[in-house]
Structure 1
Amino acid sequence: MKIAIIVPMEIEAEYYRKYFHSGSRKMFGSTVFEHFYVNQNDIYLGLSGIGKVQAAINLTCLLSQVNIDLILMTGTAGSLQQEVHQGDLVIAKTFSYHDVHNTLAGDYVEGQIPGEPAVFDLDSCERNNFIQFIHEQNLSYQEGLIVTGDSFIGSQEQKDQIKSNFPNALGVEMEGAAFAQVCHHFKKPLIAIRAISDNGDDGANDDFDLFAQKSAAKAAKIICKYLEKMK
């Protein structure tokens, strides 16, 4: 299989390089992807950049030139629920945009772009296989809706506004829905894993630097172990 692993930041990519060795480098669009072989699979490791546009550009450039079979997105997210804590693993079931508001423009729901689905559903055989692996490893996780926007959520006011429109959302981040939208159009399966780095409230800025590296390491370890078991 050809598998893409895309993370937002360099500090997250570093953890994968501890597992992958002797990779080559190639530019796709404006992003360098490192190419590795793991268990007879082609692995493309690259950075999405921060935010929706960067994420969409960089994934689209890769998919336009390589027939990728599976996209794995890892990284961090802020919690939107009291029962979702720092360090928790969240596997996205659906994505939506928390900063898209078109309900006055027609028969649309919050987060829906005209011409696009109400939410981006990630259900696939590949995702089901990954969930089975998670169960086999006895790893605790939560799954559900994650929402995406171009702002770092660092205040209770921001958090409350998002929850008023998406009361069931588990987490908030800055790239996932853009990935999901691109994968929807390319008809590619996406597995999105977010480790909770902060509470998305007034303490988020203090928490983020402390937990981002720890959260990224946790997600990378899981993904690398999964790749080692893939056939």
Structure 2
Amino acid sequence: MTTAILSALPEEQNTLVARLAHPQRMTHAGRAFWRGELEGRAVVLALSGMGKVAAATTSTALIERFGAARIVFTGVAGGVGDGVNVGDVVVAEDYLQHDMDASPLFPRWEVPGYARSRLRCDAALSAILLEAARDCVSSAERRFDLQSVIPGPPAGRAPVSAHHGLVVSGDRFVCAADEAHRLRSALVDAGHAVLAVEMEGAAVAQVCYDYGIPFAAVRTISDRADDAAHVDFPRFVQAVASRYAEQMVLAMMQKL
């Protein structure tokens, strides 16, 4: 059974590619894919591309061309939920497209033809990923260079945490405080307690739903999706997010 590891950024996959046993690089649909083994299990690694269409193309290729039996997404996101802070991780329970609006034909956010706005991730696979995420953050302060990339002295920061809940995706980079507030307020008022926002996961969730393929996703919180963020993003990805992703993926593979 082949597990596909889909990542948003090349920095998140460089160390995983280096760890592959029997690596084989292939190209398809203008993308590079790496086949091999991690922790003795068959995997294929790929980068999603930015946005929902690119992510849907990549995930479809993983299933159709490479025979992926499950897909796991790692990446970064903006935290919008209460208590979701920079350096935390969010394992998705389900996904919603925050820019989907076919009203008045369908209710806002409902995916036409699906009779629902939220697509659930696979419960069993997500539970394994959440366990790996909790193990990762429990040792984060001593293992990763959090002090240099997360604002505030360690004594003044809440301990990094792993969360489980709703993540939303859309083809817009949310990086202004007023936009993040409007997005969160509209969703929460409608009963959607959103934790994080990004640009790809909901599309992958929909593809996996169509194919009946288990899907799970984890996002490291790189900012609060507002214009008050003080994180050096490239340094955060290199020092924290990429190392989180490596540790969580390897721990997950051991548990499958």
TM-score of the pair, normalised by structure 2: 0.81
Of stretches 125-134 and 169-178 in structure 1, the one that deviates more from structure 2 is 125-134
Aligned match of 2:175 in 135, 142, 154?
A: 154
Please state if 1:112 is matched with 2:133.
Answer: no
1:37 matched residue in structure 2: 37
- List per-residue Cα deviations over 1:107-161 (Å, max 9, x = no partner): x2x3222112321111333223333555677844101000001111110121012
**Alpha-carbon distance in structure 2 between the residues aligned to 1:155 and 1:138:** 27
**Alpha-carbon distance in structure 2 between the residues aligned to 1:45 and 1:199:** 28
**Alpha-carbon distance in structure 1 between the residues aligned to 2:67 and 2:23:** 19
The 5 A counterparts of 1:12-23 are 12-23=12-23
1:221 matched residue in structure 2: 247
1:6 matched residue in structure 2: 6
Secondary structure of the corresponding residue to residue 217 of structure 1:
helix
Considering only aligned residues, what root-mean-square deviation do their CA atoms show, in Å?
Answer: 2.1
Of stretches 24-33 and 119-128 in structure 1, the one that deviates more from structure 2 is 119-128
- Change beyond 3 A, Cα 1:205–1:99: farther
Q: CA deviation at 1:103?
A: 3.4
1:170 matched residue in structure 2: 195
Runs of 4+ displaced beyond 6 Å: none
Residues 80 and 172 in structure 1, CA contact (< 8 A), matched pair in contact too: yes
Residues 74 and 220 in structure 1, CA contact (< 8 A), matched pair in contact too: no
Aligned match of 2:221 in 196, 210, 223?
A: 196
- List per-residue Cα deviations over 1:148-198 (Å, max 9, x = no partner): 011111101210121122221000001000010000001111110001000
**Alpha-carbon distance in structure 1 between the residues aligned to 2:169 and 2:44:** 24
Residues 13 and 45 in structure 1, CA contact (< 8 A), matched pair in contact too: yes
**Alpha-carbon distance in structure 1 between the residues aligned to 2:4 and 2:77:** 20
The 5 A counterparts of 1:74-153 are 74-106=74-106, 108=107, 110-116=108-114, 117-134=116-133, 139=138, 140-153=161-174
Aligned AA for 2:68? I
**Alpha-carbon distance in structure 2 between the residues aligned to 1:25 and 1:180:** 25
Structure 2: which 5+ residue stretches go unaligned? Answer: 139-160
2:25 matched residue in structure 1: 25
Q: CA deviation at 1:19?
A: 2.9
Residues 155 and 204 in structure 1, CA contact (< 8 A), matched pair in contact too: no
Secondary structure of the corresponding residue to residue 105 of structure 1:
coil
- List per-residue Cα deviations over 1:177-228 (Å, max 9, x = no partner): 001000000111111000100010003485433423322321221111221x
Structure 1: which 5+ residue stretches go unaligned? Answer: none
- Change beyond 3 A, Cα 1:133–1:157: closer
Secondary structure of the corresponding residue to residue 78 of structure 2:
strand
- Change beyond 3 A, Cα 1:205–1:53: farther
